Amino acid sequence: MIREALDGKRIVLSGATGFLGTALVERLLRQVPGCTIGVLVRPGRRGAADRVRREVLKNEAFDRLRGELGDAFADTVAGRLVAIAGDVGVDGLGLDEDGQRFLAGADVFIHSAAAVSFDSPLDQAVEINLLGPVRVVEAMKEHCPAAHLVAVSTSYVAGTRRGKALETTLDATPYAPDVDWRAEVAAARRTRADLDSASRSPQMLAELHKRARQELGGAGVPLLAERTERLRLEWVKDGLVDAGVARASSLGWPDAYPYTKALGERALLQHRGDVPVSIVRPSIIESALADPRPGWIRGFRMADPIIISYARGLLKEFPGIPEGIVDVIPVDLVVAAIIDVAATGPDPAGPSVYQVASGSRNPLRYGQLVDHVRTFFTANPIHDAEGQPIEVPEWSFPGRGRVQAQLKRAEKLLTAGERALQALPLRGSQAEYAARLEERRDQVERALEYVELYGHYTETEAIFQVDRLLALHRSLPEEDQRDFGCDPAVVDWASYIGDTYLPAVVDHSRVKMTPGKKTGLSRADRGRKAILSPDRHLAAFDLENTLIASNVVDSFSWLATRRLDGRDRVRFVAKTLREAPGLLALDRKDRGDFLRHFYRRYGGAPVAAVEADVWDLWAEHLMNNAFPAGLRRVRRHRELGHRTILITGALDMLVEPVKPLFDEVVAAHMRQDGGRYTGELVEAPSTGEARALAIREYCAAEGLELDQCVAYADSASDLPMLEVVGHPVAVNAEAKLAAIARKRGWHTEGWKRDPGAPRTGPISRRASFLLAGQRKAGV
C-alpha cells in the first residue's frame, strides 16, 4: 500500500541536511522506489546540488543503499533526487524558476526543517520554527495548492503540562495562553535590534574590549578588535537565548524550541487556506532501531553529551524524577510514521495530528534509563588517558535548583582560580595548571548548560497520547507494518539501550574504551612529526623565552652593570626593581610603546663598545640561559631544507651573534649619531600583527605557502604570528597562550636551560622573574 500510494509521486522535503531529514531521504530512496524527491536546501557557495552531495549523500546512512545498488547508485540518485535551492527563512522560500516549476508538480511537501537546538537565539527560532511553516504553506498555495503538507513539529508543544497530551490541534486543545503569534514575531525582531544597539554602546564596547584584552593580552590591535567584535556578537546571541527562554517560560514552555514550534502550528493552521495539512509530532528523536542500520545517528542528540559526561565521571548527578518518563523514540519509527502519513493522505475532516512518542505506549522511566546506562558503563568503562577504567558514580536524583547552585559555585571558584593563576608569571608546565583549570571550568560550564537546557525534559510529567498513530499503524497491511511500522511498542528498551543506542553513542563520541595507554605515536610525537615534515617551507622563531630564557630588561641590565662595582650594581638593581611595576603595566598595555620607552635607556651609549660587549653578553650570559633543544630545532629545520626566520623586538646588535642560524632576521634598529646610540628606534619594533605581516611578506617574496609554515612563540602577544601559519607551536607558553593552545589543539614544547649551565647575570633569577612578569618583554 505505501509503495503503491507513493508510486509516481513528487515529494518535496525541507531539512534534508538534518538528522531526521537525512533518514527520510535514505528511506524514500531505498524503500519507495517509484517516487521522485526534491530536496530544498540553502545553496551555499557551491550550489544546492553540491551541498546535497556533500552533506546528505556522503553520510554513512546511505552505505546500505550504496551496497545494494552498487554501480547503479549514482544513476539511481541522479534520476530520483533533485536539489532545489531555497530557504525556509526567506519569504517565497527563495525559489528560482526551476524550483518553482518542481514545486508546481509536487504531490507531497514534507516540512522537517527546524532550528532544533533548545538554546537557539529567539529571533532565529522564530524565523525558522514559527515563520517557516507559514512560508512553506504560502508557497504551496501559490504553486501546488492541492498538495499534501506534512509538517513536522514536536510533542513538547504541550509545554510543561502534567497528564495526558492529546493528538489534537492546538486550537482544539490549547496548552498555553493564546498569544498573537504576529506580535511575538515583531517582539523577537525588536529584541534583536535592541540587544544589537545595546551591544554598541560605549560602556559595553569598553567592557568587551577589556574582556578581550584579559583573554589575549597584548596580542595587537587587529586581534583584539576581532575578539572584541566576536564577544559583542556572542553577547547579542546569549541575550537572545535568554530572551527566548524567559518568554517561553512565561507562557508555559521550557525553552524557545517548543514555544516557537507551538506558535508555528497555530500560524500554519491560520494561513493554510485550502491546503491539506497533517502534523507529525515526534518526542525526543534518538538513534535508529534498525534503519538504515541499528544505532545510526547524525550528530549528538539531546541525551548523548549527558551520558558521556556521566561515563567520564564529569557529571555525578543530574536532575530528574526517577519514576518520570524520558520520552525518546528511534529515528526510523519517526521516518516510518511520516511516510505513512504522506502515503495515506490528509484527513478529509481537516488538519490531523499524529504524535510519535513512546511514553503512553511503551514508557521508559528515567530511573530505568539510568540503571541501563550505569550497567553498560560498569561492564564497558571509558578509559582515561593513562588507560585506566573510569568508575561511574552512583547516580542521584536531586532537584534541578540544587544541581544548578552546586555547579554555579564550582564555576565561580574555578574562574577565580584561573584568573589568579593567569596573573602569575607562570610558564611551560606551570602554565599548564592554568590551562587545565580552564578546561575544568569549561566542563563545569557544559554540565551547567546541560542541566539548564535539558533538566526540564527529564522532569516532564506529560504523557503523549498516540491513539491516532496506533490506528494508522494498524490500518497498514502486514507487509507495510513490517517495512513501515510505527508502533513504539516494538522497542525493547533494555536491548535498544544496551545493544544499540549506547554502543552508537560511544562510537560517535570516539572515547577510549580499551585498557592501557594508546599504542603508536603520542599526540606530541605526531605534532612534532608534522612540524618536521620535509613538506614544510619555513620555520619562524621568536627569541626571548622561546630560544633563550631572557628578555630585554635582563640583557640591558647585564650590559649596563658589567663594569660597575658591587655597590653601584646593587643600586642599579634596586632602581630597576622599583621601576618594574610601571614597566610591566606599560608592557601589558602596549608592547611597542614599552619597547620604545625602555630602549631610550641606550641613549648616549657608544656604538663600538656596545657591539663589542654583545659578544661577551652571549658568551658569558645568554648562552648559559639558552634552550639547547630550541637551538637544535633551528638547526634541524635547516637540515630539512626549511627556511628559517627570527622575528624579535630585540635590538639588531643584540642578536648579531645568532644571525648565522637564520636566513632572515627581523629585529629593531636604533638610530646612531656621532658614534653613539640616540635611544630612538628607526621604525616601530616588530610586535603583534607586525610579526604576522613579516611572515606574509617573506613568504610572498620567496614563493612559500603559509599553510606549510611553522611558527614558534611563547606569549599570547604572539598570536598573530602563530595564527598566520599552518603549524603554530607554543613554546614554554605563558598562562594565556597555554590555555589558547590547549583549546585549539596546537602543538606545545617545553624547552629548558641546560641544567649544568651556571646562573649568570647582574640580577638574581627571582628579581629577573619579577621584572619579566607573566609576559616577556621585547619579544
Confidence check: pLDDT of 300 > 90: no
Q: How far apart are CA 494 and CA 489, in angstroms?
A: 13
All cell numbers assigned to 90: 526567506
Q: Which residue has the higher pLDDT, 258 or 735?
A: 258
Q: Tell me what pLDDT residue 775 has.
A: 34
Please give the average per-residue pLDDT across 430-455, as a whole number: 64
Q: Is the pLDDT of residue 128 over 50?
A: yes
- The pLDDT, as a whole number, for residue 587 is 72
pLDDT band at 567 (very low <50, low <70, confident <90, very high): confident
Q: CA 753, CA 765: separation in Å to the nearest integer? A: 13
Nearest residue to 677 via CA among 657, 654, 655: 654
Provide the residue ranges of all domains of the chain, joining segments of one domain with +: 1-177+253-283+327-360+465-486, 180-251, 303-325+364-461+489-519, 528-774
Please compute the mean of the pLDDT values over residues 562-586 and round it to a whole number.
78
Higher-confidence position of 279 and 426: 279
Residue 763 has pLDDT above 70, yes or no: no
What topology does CATH give the domain 528-774?
Rossmann fold (3.40.50)
If one compares 325 and 290, the residue with the highest pLDDT of the two is 290
714-741 pLDDT, tens digit each: 988 889 999 999 999 999 988 788 888 8
Q: Which three cell numbers stand for residue 455?
A: 533538566
CA–CA distance, 462 with 24 (Å, rounded to integer): 28
- Whether residue 415 is predicted with pLDDT greater than 90 in this model: the reply is no
User: Is the model's pLDDT at 410 over the cut of 80?
Assistant: no
What would the CATH number be for the domain defined by 1-177+253-283+327-360+465-486? 3.40.50.720
- Number of helices (H) and strands (E), helices first, in the chain? 31, 19
- Quick check: 638 pLDDT over 90? yes
Q: Range with the lowest mean pLDDT among 203-207, 267-271, 508-512, 750-754? A: 508-512
DSSP string, 116-132: --TT--HHHHIIIIIHH
The candidate with the shortest Cα–Cα distance to 156, out of 21, 240, 248, is 248
Q: What is the pLDDT of residue 765?
A: 39
Supply the pLDDT for residue 552. 85
Report helix, strand or coil for 746: coil
Whole-angstrom distance, CA of residue 776 vs CA of residue 481: 71
Q: What is the pLDDT of residues 493-531, one digit of tens each?
A: 999 999 999 998 888 777 777 776 666 677 788 899 999
302-306, 687-691, 702-706: the lowest-pLDDT one: 302-306
Residue 778 pLDDT = 33
What is the tens place of the pLDDT at every residue in 150-159? 999 999 998 8
Q: Which of 312, 323, 642, 266 is nearest to 446 (CA)?
A: 312
Distance of CA 126 to the CA centre of its chain: 23
Percent of the chain with pLDDT over 90: 57
What's the CA gap between 773 and 400, in Å, rounded? 43
Query: Looking at residue 496, what DSSP letter applies?
Result: I
For residue range 555-564, what is the model confidence (pLDDT) as tens digits? 888 888 877 7
- pLDDT value at 238 more than 90: yes
Determine the average pLDDT of the residues in 323-347: 94
- The beta-strand segments (E) located in 153-236 are 163-165
The Cα angle at residue 346 between residues 344 and 347, in degrees rounded to 5: 105
**Does residue 447 surpass a pLDDT of 70?**
no
Do 1-177+253-283+327-360+465-486 and 528-774 fold alike per CATH? Answer: yes
Count of alpha carbons within 13 angstroms of residue 146, beta-carbon side: 4
Of residues 678 and 753, more confidence is placed in: 678
What does pLDDT average to over the chain? 86
399 pLDDT band, cuts 50/70/90, is low
CA nearest neighbour of 539 among 662, 421, 448: 662
Which cell goes with 348? 478529509
Instruction: Tell whether the model's pLDDT for residue 647 goes beyond 80.
Output: yes
pLDDT at 771: 36
pLDDT at 754 exceeding the cut of 50: yes
Q: What integer is the mean pLDDT of 163-188?
A: 86
DSSP run (H or E) holding 482: helix 478-484
Residue that has been written with the C-alpha cell 611597542 in this structure: 592
| pLDDT (0 to 100) of residue 427 | 58
Cell of 516: 592501557
Cell of 435: 590551562
Q: Inform me whether the pLDDT recorded for 421 exceeds 70.
A: no
pLDDT of residue 451: 65
Distance CA 452, CA 407 (A): 11
What DSSP state is assigned to residue 435? H
In this prediction, residue 598 carries a pLDDT of 86
Query: Which pLDDT score is estimated for 434?
Result: 61
Average of per-residue pLDDT across 702-706: 95
